[in-house]
Structure 1
């Protein structure tokens, strides 16, 4: 959840690190810090707030050092303060470290170290870890690399760390477990970061550290070692498939708006090379070796969090309608704590944009330990979920920088739809004619999403009217129920307006008590099998003075007569409507948040990649 950037080479490290921190600010933005080796000592600058606050704190005379580490923090242990910001010093001041993750046994370590005379300047678990590494180094009278290795065999939790040593000022030591860390390989220089976005500007060759690996890095050399087995590993260099333009705003005011508008292309990219409606083919090479397990699955269990969980709810309807396989959708954060029943023949599908979601990874590990086949759906090549899965399918949506997920949701739906259709084709639960109809309609979705962007001006007007509302209710049925949940989540995430999503039929079982003239109610009421029922629900809200905003299928003649505000989206089949109907809800949330003066791309208290439990 925090952002890590480090550099060793021939460039001014402060420039590289700070620019990288700006690119990673979506991962953590409570505070920021920089450490360099300058004037024959370690110098640390850190400040509560954004990277811009750190830059102001450093001043115009940036350090000239060619080695440095930097960090953006998302607070876990201790409030966002200057003192709790990273980097943290060891007790003797000779080591400095940045850390992403959580050290679960930090309290016991801190008590032990305090008994030995260690004094701590922060409330963080991270400072405890660097003190512990120093203590191990002193007790074993060994080099820093060995001290790091030994210390990490004693800690419990997740980490990605980078350490600088005043006594070896040209060396970085890095390690990871359960939190991502990538190393960019240049000419006489190395770049380290939580993900590839700060690196792509300089090199497209990277090494992804695996769990329980550590690296010792100088300008001239990179060596990798397994932490527990103490064996040297051969670094595997991969080529990044990422363009610098993909992580820039490209003329848009915010990344979120850019990513909403990118959905026409990102959905197409999900299907490119996989779906050919004219030829009647659907090819998913990523799950080829485990296709039989899906075809013969007794049950599919989907594990995910947040927006990805909503995508899983839509997928539940798809798999059950198309392939006639029972599906359960689980919050990954709850899955492993309730002793779930996993039987032979079950297939688990894990969904995550980042591929680093800690709760989802933990759920996958449990499922694998009980013999389940685990398939991954994620966006980031080389991510932890991609590596932990037996097989999987990448969404290829491109980088998503805005914390509130938009294009990842529709990309996940696209991939899940293709998996469901492919499984149905093998199981012969769809006729060939019906299968081809779905392929043709799925190919049309990018163009239909693009038509939704024409609604932007109308949605801006609606947003102005409701930007001061204190509560929202989102209602939908069938495939549109998860869209109601997603619409409510988007609004509360970025505008801080309380919003709830419900199945429309459940309104009468409690939420109807909230409805009055102050309560905006958003219905997703497109033409589907539940249409008449939703019309009745709209009438019930209007009878109680509620103000109704409705997303309808273009050409609807009935609902516009009873609703206060109507947004028309192109017609498509029920199963694919969520990819279309969610777009106006994304735009509504965006414009309301902007009008309320909220930080759309970096909403308070949230981080893009939730790498801690």
Structure 2
């Protein structure tokens, strides 16, 4: 989850690295730090506050350098305290930053202690720094590039690292296995980063390192070797990672900005869709889709809820049996593989470790038909799947996902329509109607966003609560799950979601006048059943907060608070009902004074298991 930036240049690169950390802070913000080669030795500044505090330290200390690495951390091994913050040093000769988890760190730690190394942190990262130092004294014979290559062969787990040593000025070495790392190419200077966004405005020329690659950066170029220690040539890509994507503009938080960007994001996701064709998912998609008889969706968190929603669509409209698995669980249980299954992975970043591991496990079981729904076209997930659909949500900085979720739903609906059409279950008239509704989504979402003032009034009441229930039925049950997740993520209010029909099977025991019950009430076939469930809540003194379609005939009453949504939007109603739940969570968190964009203990990109 952490963020890495590194550089070699003939200028002071500290401002570039600090700005890069600011842009990567969404990946982890428990601590941060920068190390430079200054006055012939590594020197560093570290902070357990945010990057702004680190920047102040750097300015006060006069830290400058032409060779440097920097890091923003989401804590795994060791508490978020200064001595665990990166960069980590070895014998005041080596400075190293690391993203990931080294699974065999305990055995390496004991081995290195036996060789006289003292450990001053609780991190697994420190074993990498000391291991490289050992190798430099022996097998690597003072060659950092070789030492890192040898060290990686002893590391088990996932990692991206960047390291320099005092004896080799203007050299930074990086390596990746299971965590992303990109090389930025400049004129007489070169860079490393976890994400191209970190280097926006510095370079637009990037190399995306592949699994097992090790790279050496020098002033005049880079050299890469692959996992077999053979020289490798990687494609140089022009990537316009606009720094404007991380500017707040008129918004209070990135989450608010990204909620209001959803009409544009869905419009961009639909760009170029003139009709429903398999080629939307890749040139070989039709052949793949005709071979499959079921769908398996693998995802985590919010992406998992988009998969649960898609299950309803796929089984209803396309008549394709669909299962949805939490990716972090799938690979650790016995399952029944089916070579005719389409394995669909969903991830905002395309680097989610659990989902990547689940994908690889599914492939190892002989399930070769794979498709990624992803927001990053250069990600490992897109490269490792046969087919893909890019959501084009744009950069999402807020940790709580918003526009990534609704664009995933849009892409999954397109997949549903495609499979339905290939199976003869979608008439030309139905296709035209669905496309019309998809194209109208941005306008419909703008109507929902206009409800913000009413939702703010609700949020003031929610801010005083410590528990909440969310209810939905059918297609909207996964949306209730997503609404509960948003509230707990950023406001720290305990929230749970249930299918409304399950109330009387246990959750009703929790209902009091202190328990707000958020209800998603579209005017669909289940609305009358839902009204009965709402009466169960009112009979126990519960307070209902209902997002009701305009034509659902649910009225404000004592203990029943209603916000009117637009008219029922059919199969796409879940996308519209998502947005007010995002706004409710956002404004409740604002009222409680939490750190909306960087909630405690969380990070945006989950690149460790």
1:382 equivalent among 378, 384, 389: 378
Q: Deviations over 1:85-139 (max 9, x none)?
A: 000112x221110000000000010011111111111000000111111112223
**Aligned partners of 1:548 and 1:62: how far apart in 2?**
57
TM-score (norm: length of structure 1): 0.97
The residue number in structure 1 matching 2:432 is 436
**Aligned partners of 1:195 and 1:126: how far apart in 2?**
20
User: May I ask how many residue pairs the two structures share in their alignment?
Assistant: 607
Instruction: Quote the offset at 1:190 in angstroms.
Output: 1.7
The residue number in structure 2 matching 1:16 is 16
Equivalent residues in 2 for 1:109-124 (5 A)?
109-124=108-123
Instruction: Quote the offset at 1:594 in angstroms.
Output: 0.7
Structure 2 residue 23 is the aligned partner of structure 1 residue 27: no
The residue number in structure 1 matching 2:341 is 346
1:463 equivalent among 446, 450, 459: 459
The residue number in structure 2 matching 1:37 is 37
Pair 1:111–1:576, CA change in 2 (3 A): same
Instruction: Quote the offset at 1:319 in angstroms.
Output: 0.8
- SS where residue 158 of structure 2 aligns? strand
The residue number in structure 2 matching 1:160 is 160
Instruction: Quote the offset at 1:439 in angstroms.
Output: 1.4
Instruction: Quote the offset at 1:5 in angstroms.
Output: 1.1
**Aligned partners of 1:556 and 1:321: how far apart in 2?**
23
Pair 1:285–1:435, CA change in 2 (3 A): closer
- SS where residue 348 of structure 1 aligns? strand
Equivalent residues in 2 for 1:250-329 (5 A)?
250-274=249-273, 276=274, 280-282=275-277, 284-329=279-324
1:371 equivalent among 366, 380, 383: 366
The residue number in structure 1 matching 2:328 is 333
**Aligned partners of 2:337 and 2:473: how far apart in 1?**
29
Equivalent residues in 2 for 1:519-538 (5 A)?
519-538=515-534
Pair 1:29–1:447, CA change in 2 (3 A): same
Alpha carbons 2:140, 2:146 under 8 Å: kept = no
**Aligned partners of 1:46 and 1:293: how far apart in 2?**
51
**Aligned partners of 2:512 and 2:446: how far apart in 1?**
35
1:360 equivalent among 343, 346, 355: 355
Alpha carbons 1:208, 1:382 under 8 Å: kept = yes
**Aligned partners of 1:316 and 1:545: how far apart in 2?**
35
Instruction: Quote the offset at 1:375 in angstroms.
Output: 0.7
Instruction: Quote the offset at 1:59 in angstroms.
Output: 4.0
Pair 1:36–1:522, CA change in 2 (3 A): same
**Structure 1 unmatched runs, 5+:** none
**Aligned partners of 2:471 and 2:543: how far apart in 1?**
13
- SS where residue 538 of structure 1 aligns? helix
The residue number in structure 2 matching 1:62 is 62
Give me the CA root mean square deviation: 1.4
Instruction: Quote the offset at 1:68 in angstroms.
Output: 1.2
Equivalent residues in 2 for 1:212-611 (5 A)?
212-227=212-227, 229-274=228-273, 276=274, 280-282=275-277, 284-372=279-367, 373-561=369-557, 564-611=560-607
**Aligned partners of 2:377 and 2:80: how far apart in 1?**
32
Pair 1:559–1:526, CA change in 2 (3 A): farther
Instruction: Quote the offset at 1:295 in angstroms.
Output: 3.5
Greater mean deviation of Cα atoms: 376-385 or 281-290: 281-290
Structure 2 residue 5 is the aligned partner of structure 1 residue 5: yes
